Amino acid sequence: MKFGVSLGLDLRTNAAEQRENLYRLAALIEELGFDYLSVGHHVFTPDTGDQSAPFVHLAAIAARTSRLRLATGIYILPLYHPASVAEQVATLDQISDGRVIFGIGVGYRDYEFRGHGVDIKTRGARTDDAMAALRGAWTSGRWSHRGRFWTIEDLEAHPPTVQRPHPPMWVGGNSPAALRRAGTLGDGWMSDNMLDIVREKACVDLYRGFCAEAGRKAGAVCILRNAWVAPTREAAGEAVMPALRRFLEHYRRASVGTNPQRSLYSRIAHGEDVPLSEYTPGRALCGTPEDAIREVGRWRAEVGADYLQLMPSGPRTYETLRDMLTLFGKEVIPAVREAA
Residue 273: φ, ψ to 5°: -85, 80
Q: Do 106 and 241 fall within a single domain?
A: no
Whole-number Å distance between alpha carbons of 147 and 126: 9
CB 339 within 8 A of CB 43: no
**Do 1 and 142 belong together in one domain?**
yes
Enumerate residues 6+ apart whose C-beta is below 8 A from 223.
Answer: 191, 200, 299, 303, 305, 307, 308, 309
Residue type, 321: L
Same domain, 118 and 266: no
Same domain, 116 and 224: no
E strands in the chain: 2-6, 36-39, 69-72, 75-76, 100-105, 142-146, 151-156, 169-172, 188-190, 220-229, 285-287, 307-312
E strand or H helix that includes residue 198: helix 197-213
Tell me how far CA of residue 30 lies from CA of 26, 49, 110, 228, 302, in angstroms.
6, 20, 36, 18, 28
Q: Is residue 301 part of a domain?
A: yes
**What pLDDT digit, counting tens, does each position of 234-258 carry?**
999 999 988 888 777 766 555 444 4
How many H helices and E strands in the chain? 13, 12
> What's the total number of domains in the chain?
2
Instruction: For the chain, give the mean pLDDT.
Output: 92
Q: Is 188 domain-assigned? A: no
Identify the pLDDT of residue 333.
Answer: 98
- Which residues face 312 on adjacent strands? 227
Instruction: For residue 257, tell me if it sits in a domain.
Output: yes
Q: Is residue 232 part of a domain?
A: yes
Residue 163 shares a structural domain with residue 245? no
- The predicted pLDDT at position 12 comes to 63
Range of the domain at 296: 219-340
174 part of a folded domain: no
Residue at which a domain ends, from 149, 167, 185: 167
Contact (Cβ atoms closer than 8 angstroms) between residue 311 and residue 193: yes
Q: Is the dihedral of CA 30, 294, 187, 82 positive or negative?
A: negative
Using the 3D structure, point to which of 141, 167, 193 is the last residue of a domain: 167
Q: Examine residue 181 and state whether it is found in any structural domain, yes or no.
A: no
Same domain as 162, residue 247: no
- Residues 71 and 163 both lie in one domain: yes
> Does 198 fall in a domain?
no
Element (H, E) at 248: helix 233-253
Task: Look at residue 329 and tell me if it is in a domain.
Answer: yes
159 and 39 both lie in a single domain: yes
CB-CB neighbours of 277 under 10 Å: 12
- Could you list the mean pLDDT of each consecutive 10-residue stretch along the chain, which spans 340 residues? 88 78 95 97 82 94 97 97 98 98 96 97 98 97 95 95 98 96 97 92 97 96 96 94 80 50 74 88 95 96 96 91 97 93
pTM over cut 0.75: yes
* Same domain as 252, residue 148: no
124, 146, 167 - which closes a domain: 167
Q: Are residues 229 and 97 in the same domain?
A: no
Same-domain status, 74 and 144: yes
pLDDT tens profile 171-204: 999 999 999 999 999 999 999 888 899 999 999 9
CATH of the domain at 15: 3.20.20.30
Q: Is the domain of 68 the same as that of 1?
A: yes
